[in-house]
């Protein structure tokens, strides 16, 4: 917490800093929020029937990701509130891990807290990944950032018969005498599993934006990863099923309209620099 009259700190670019004046923004201090979180283990009772549903959400893992991000962003907002800031711009989300804390993730968020002239002093600070430059363009078009909309969903997708068949040849782990089929086919169950997992993460991100009073989300990124996993069934004879653990993280910048959009055509130029 800087003392009164102390120098401000910021990671703004010079052009961003120059535009602050135009927007009535004043940088106060760099702020941070972080959380190291151990991701729990989820055992699952898996319905042992073939051909049944093959997608199940691992809600303990989904919750872990959403909570660690929520914690970090909450602490960032807390720091900003204590500084009397109205917004945090240029928020960066970083995910790291440390080898001395196995099975855990560190979520770090960084940004520059800014004071906005004429803004309601009691309002919650608005967090945004946007740079001051992008902020400026939005404001000129009659819009402003509303917050960060993000959601993570973790799913377990069990191998279907078709997938096992496809893996049985080549250098795959499950080599069999049969070999993989030579013809092309779509793995429909797997397509559906991945597809709906992605859609769910996107829908919940949308719901978050709605709760921020946003009219839309720009700059959406959807990251995903998949790894092999075997889930043991804790009941009924203890069978197990192999499949994939798939993580989807959807993150975007929620924006809202403040006035009627007033957009003018940009001027076209030709760059002679290079």
Name the site residues for other proteins (rule: CB under 8 A).
130, 134, 137-138, 141, 162-163, 166-167, 169-172, 180-187, 190-192, 194-200, 202-203, 205-207, 209-210, 214-222, 224, 226-228, 244, 252-253, 261, 263-273
Q: How near is the Cβ of 184 to other proteins at its closest, in Å?
A: 4
In angstroms, rounded to a whole number, what is the distance separating the alpha carbons of residues 84 and 78? 10
Nearer to other proteins, 28 or 148 (CB): 148
Nearer to other proteins, 68 or 163 (CB): 163
Q: How near is the Cβ of 71 to other proteins at its closest, in Å?
A: 25
Nearer to other proteins, 79 or 247 (CB): 247
In angstroms, rounded to a whole number, what is the distance separating the alpha carbons of residues 44 and 101? 25
Q: Which of 156, 157, 247, 158 is nearest to 201 (CA)?
A: 247
In angstroms, rounded to a whole number, what is the distance separating the alpha carbons of residues 237 and 43? 15
In angstroms, rounded to a whole number, what is the distance separating the alpha carbons of residues 261 and 209? 20
Task: Tell whether the torsion through CA atoms of 209, 222, 144 and 23 is positive or negative.
Answer: positive
Q: How near is the Cβ of 174 to other proteins at its closest, in Å?
A: 10
For β-strands 87-96 and 126-127, DSSP reports them as: parallel
Nearer to other proteins, 98 or 137 (CB): 137
Q: How near is the Cβ of 34 to other proteins at its closest, in Å?
A: 27
Q: Could you tell me how far CA 185 lies from the centroid of its own chain?
A: 33
Q: Could you tell me how far CA 64 lies from the centroid of its own chain?
A: 13
Q: How near is the Cβ of 190 to other proteins at its closest, in Å?
A: 4
Nearer to other proteins, 28 or 214 (CB): 214
Nearer to other proteins, 211 or 234 (CB): 211
The tokens of 207 are what? 């719901």
Q: How near is the Cβ of 101 to other proteins at its closest, in Å?
A: 25
Q: Which residues pair with 247 in a beta bridge?
A: 154, 225
């Amino acid at each position: 917490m800087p003392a009164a009259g102390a120098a401000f700190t910021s990671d703004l670019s010079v052009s961003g800093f120059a535009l602050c004046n135009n927007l009535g923004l004043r940088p106060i201090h760099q702020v941070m929020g972080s959380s190291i979180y151990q991701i729990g283990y989820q055992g699952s009772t898996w319905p042992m029937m073939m051909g049944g549903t093959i997608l199940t959400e691992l809600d303990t893992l989904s919750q872990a990701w959403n909570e660690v991000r929520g914690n970090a962003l909450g602490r960032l907002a807390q720091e900003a509130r204590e500084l009397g800031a109205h917004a945090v711009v240029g928020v960066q989300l970083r995910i790291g891990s440390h080898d001395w804390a196995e099975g855990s993730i560190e979520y770090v968020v960084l940004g520059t807290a800014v004071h906005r002239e004429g803004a309601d002093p009691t309002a919650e600070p608005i967090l945004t990944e946007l740079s001051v430059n992008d902020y400026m363009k939005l404001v000129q078009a009659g819009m402003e950032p509303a917050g960060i909309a993000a959601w993570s969903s973790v799913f377990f997708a069990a191998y279907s018969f078709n997938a096992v068949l496809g893996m049985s040849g080549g250098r795959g782990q499950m080599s069999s005498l049969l070999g993989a089929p030579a013809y092309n086919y779509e793995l429909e169950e797997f397509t559906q599993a991945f597809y709906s997992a992605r859609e769910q993460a996107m829908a919940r991100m949308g719901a978050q934006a709605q709760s921020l009073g946003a009219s839309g989300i720009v700059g959406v990124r959807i990251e995903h990863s998949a790894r092999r996993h075997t889930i043991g069934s804790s009941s009924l004879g203890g069978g197990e099923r192999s499949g994939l653990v798939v993580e989807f993280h959807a993150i975007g910048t929620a924006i809202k309209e403040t006035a009627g959009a007033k957009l003018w055509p940009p001027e076209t130029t030709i760059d002679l620099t290079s």
